[in-house]
Chains A and B, each alone.
Chain A
């Protein structure tokens, strides 16, 4: 079946069904690391940051040109949580001031779990609509805080996009590009 919104009429998609997953290579392993972004973050949006130019002709009609978008997303707080490989990786990069470790170094999957494919009406989803951005940056902007260590991050998406689908909502998903 084709991809479709899996929401009841009038129902609003819950925030937890928009999932951003970071992927980066593991040294000495063919299996990359993956980690969902946004653990213990209360509010974060995929900001398109469109570059908009408007002009008006002599008849008074306004024209709008969107030259480009520079998608970006902030995760604040991004707490350093036990078991978080991404937290460990980025904290080390911050301590070493190793900016190469996080610049254009990540693949980010944007999974819209509210758009899915099923084998039939009323059956569980078998695939979820996904945009894969390669060459993204996850930039830590601070480290510290009050009682808990917070390391806010900015995700800068590359716009090098492969559209496709993932088969499950967990770290071991398989991504299939659209044919």
Chain B
């Protein structure tokens, strides 16, 4: 399976994502939609090991679109603050990815690749912008995820 397909298939098993539209690279900006963007694929981290295998890195991002509200935070409505609730929803995706790492549950990169580690590069979702031209205005939160793996495709020893 192609690695991009593997990542998309993997993301669709995330409860926060599976119930919402997931786009690849391009898609509609709508509330609660997600967009997976491949940043780099098959980047060798150094020269091959002596057996011909190579350590590689696959990096991708998940953008989460969330409608925003302009209500001030108050103690009374803190638990119902829309912006805070939406942010925590994105945090759930981050927590899910981190939990999958602990379970060694990874995207299926095929039999020639062994995933070493999958990690989110930030501890909190990154607010990358708000599109105020939309109605309602839409915030974009981003999670960047890095997968390090060993590619055994060119090993002489099978």
Contact = CB atoms under 8 A, between A and B. Distances in A.
Among B52, B53, B154, B157, chain A packs the most CB atoms within 10 A around the CB of: B157
Nearest to A170: B158
A16 interface: yes
Contacts of A44: 50
A40 B49 CA distance: 5
A36 interface: yes
* Contact-residue size bin, chain B (C-beta under 8 Å from the other chain): 10 to 19
Contact of B157 (A19, A41, A43): A19
B89 interface: no
A40 B155 CA distance: 11
A40 B150 CA distance: 9
A169 B49 contact: no
A41 B49 CA distance: 5
Interface string A32-76: 000010111111100000000000000000000000000000000
The contact size tier of chain A is: 10 to 19
Contacts of A9: none
Interface string A1-39: 000000000000011111101000000000000001011
B156 interface: yes
Contacts of A18: 50
A40 B53 contact: yes
Contacts of B55: 40
A113 B51 contact: no
A42 B52 CA distance: 10
Interface string B124-158: 00000000000000000000000000100011111
B49 A39 contact: yes
Given A42-B46, A42-B47, A16 B52 contact: yes
Q: Which 6 A-B pairs have the closest CB atoms?
A: A16-B52, A38-B50, A16-B156, A170-B158, A36-B157, A15-B50
Interface of A: 14-19, 21, 36, 38-44, 113, 169-170
